Amino acid sequence: MNDEILKNVSIRLEDLDVEGTIEEVKRALDKEISPFGIVKNALSPAMDRIGQKFERKEYFLSELSLAAYIMKGVMDLLDPHFSVSREGRLGKFLIGTVKGDLHDIGKSFVSMMLTSAGFEVHDLGIDVPDERFVEKAVEIKADFVGMSSLLTTTMPGMKRVIELLKNNGIRERLRIFVGGAVVTQSFADEIGADYYAEDAMECVRKARSLVMNRR
């Protein structure tokens, strides 16, 4: 019975059915399926399939945006239940587009994909001052920091943030991800980031495998 409900959640989300997904999630909560179970067994596999459809060019940014919108509605619904659930999420992922850069779409998809994969995501938005990354990382005790840049002129912001994290003594306990159209693996290596991800799907795969290896 529960398996069937979870399957329905997953199908509705993959089909980008806005109301249908919310209805099925409510049904799952009524049956006292844990929010973590809903994420892990229904939302996460659906988002993986949505990501695969995007890679195969069956879905486009218009569909990913809609998936993000549905996921936001679902997470708003699940959030109060998380606090009473004893199961934790995969880890705290702080993310933002660096200072001077207003590109939002790619970073938002990474947020969404990470959320659906089970991470607790804190999205600082765009044009984020260097210090804000550090303050927030300290405040929430982040496990991961992800930075996005789409301009060659704003890329150095990533390096500054990493320096600041070092100066504040928290660099070592963080896993740092960088991405965005102009960013490359060699740039990531050069500035001392831990991981470069070419797209949202790769970021999720890498972050998830880190957590799984640690557990």
Partner 1 sequence: MHPLERFLSAARMEAPDEVPVSLLTSARFFSRLYGIKVFQFFHDPRLMLDATLHTMKRFPDIVFFPGLWADYGVVVEPSAFGSRIFWPEDYVPFVKGDLLKNPEAIPGLEPPDPKTDGLMPFVLESIRYIQDHAPKDVKYLYAVARGPFQVASYMRGPTEFLVDLRVRPDIARKLIDVCTETAIRWLKVQLEVINNPVGIFVPDDNASFLSPGLFEEFGLPAYRRIFSEFDGLLKVYHNDADSTHILDLLTECGFHVFNFSPATDIRKTKEGIGQKVCLMGNIDPVNVMLRGTPEQVEAECKRCIQIGATGGGYILSLGGGPSMETPQENVEAMVSAAKKYGKYPLLGV
Site for partner 1, rule CB under 8 A: 16, 18, 57, 59-63, 65-66, 68-69, 100, 102, 104-105, 108, 151-153, 181-182, 184
- Closest approach, Cβ 169 to partner 1, in A, equals 32
Burial class (CB in 10 A: 0-12, 13-18, 19+), 33: buried
The answer to whether the beta carbons of residues 174 and 123 sit under 8 Å apart is no
Instruction: Decide whether 57 or 86 has the Cβ nearer to partner 1.
Output: 57
Order the strands of the 175-179 sheet from edge to edge: 120-123, 92-97, 144-148, 175-179, 195-196
- Closest approach, Cβ 171 to partner 1, in A, equals 27
Instruction: Decide whether 106 or 118 has the Cβ nearer to partner 1.
Output: 106
Instruction: Decide whether 65 or 166 has the Cβ nearer to partner 1.
Output: 65
Given the structure tokens 């019975």, which residue do they identify? 1
- Closest approach, Cβ 70 to partner 1, in A, equals 9
- Closest approach, Cβ 6 to partner 1, in A, equals 25
Instruction: Decide whether 62 or 213 has the Cβ nearer to partner 1.
Output: 62
Q: Which residues contact 92 (CB under 8 A, 6 or more apart)?
A: 119, 120, 122, 140, 141, 142, 143, 144
- Closest approach, Cβ 113 to partner 1, in A, equals 14
The answer to whether the beta carbons of residues 79 and 69 sit under 8 Å apart is no
Instruction: Decide whether 5 or 70 has the Cβ nearer to partner 1.
Output: 70
